[in-house]
Structures are given as structure tokens and as C-alpha cells.
Amino acid sequence: MKTIKGDLILEKNTTFEESIKVEGDIKGYFDLKVNGNINAWNINALNINAWDITALNINAWDINAWDITALNINAWDINAWDIICEKRIKKSKTSKTICRVFVTDKSKLGRKEQIEDTSKEKEKE
């Protein structure tokens, strides 16, 4: 595994032949291909292709991966074997929201949009 101290700034399409651990953020809107795993705080890239991606935040145009584990994912298109997304919302000392989504055949799924109505929650506060 290659460890990168600080941020990894993509200045061109980049390929790593091994897993990478970035002790900071991955930045730059270019393609990132890793023949292994990616472990970073935040990932901002055009296309991401890896076996396993672990990050706090992922912002990308397209993600292709075997497995994605993240607190927040914001992407134009995600192609993945498994996606586990966890987003925590603190309302009191113990409240949290956990979302688990498994996408195996994206082409057969219809598109859905969900808007969360928080007006009742705001009235309680």
C-alpha cells in the first residue's frame, strides 16, 4: 500500500498499481484508477475506479467500484457492486440515521427521488 502524506492533487488522469492511503484529501477533476483500495478523507475526482473506497466524503462525476463505504456520497453516476452509505444526523445525544443501499443491476431500476420533510421536526424544536 502506498501512503501519501497530505493531499493528493490530480493534475492529469492518474493510475496506481497498488492500494493507496491518502492522509488528506484527493482533489482534482481528473480520472483516478487504483488497482486496489482507496482510503482517504475526501475524494473529489471526475471518475473513480477502485476495488474498495473508504472516505468521509466522495464527490465525483462517475464512480466504478466493487465496494463503497462512506459517510456522504455526492455523485452524478455510481456503478458499484455494493454501496453502504451512512449519514448521521444529530438531533439529540443518541439519534442517527443509517441508510444501506445495495445496487446490483442498475439498468433495471427506475429512478426515484426522495425529499425529506423536516417541517414537523422544526416545529418540535
For 90-98, what is the mean pLDDT?
52
List the alpha helices (DSSP H) in the chain: 119-124
- Residue 84 and residue 100 in contact, taking contact as beta carbons nearer than 8 Å: yes
For residue 42, give the nearest of 50, 30, 28 by alpha carbon. Answer: 28
| Number of domains composing the chain | 1
Query: What is the 8-class DSSP label of residue 11?
Result: S
Query: Quick check: is 115 in a domain?
Result: no
What average pLDDT does the structure give for the chain? Answer: 76
Q: Judge whether 34 lies within some domain.
A: yes
Based on the number of CB atoms within 10 Å of its own CB, is 75 exposed (0-12), middle (13-18) or buried (19 or more)? middle
- The reply to whether 112 falls in a domain is no
pLDDT band at 15 (very low <50, low <70, confident <90, very high): very high
Q: Which domain holds residue 60?
A: 2-107
pLDDT of residue 45: 86
Query: Does some domain include residue 70?
Result: yes
d(CA 70, CA 50): 14
Please report the pLDDT score of residue 112 as a whole number. Answer: 60
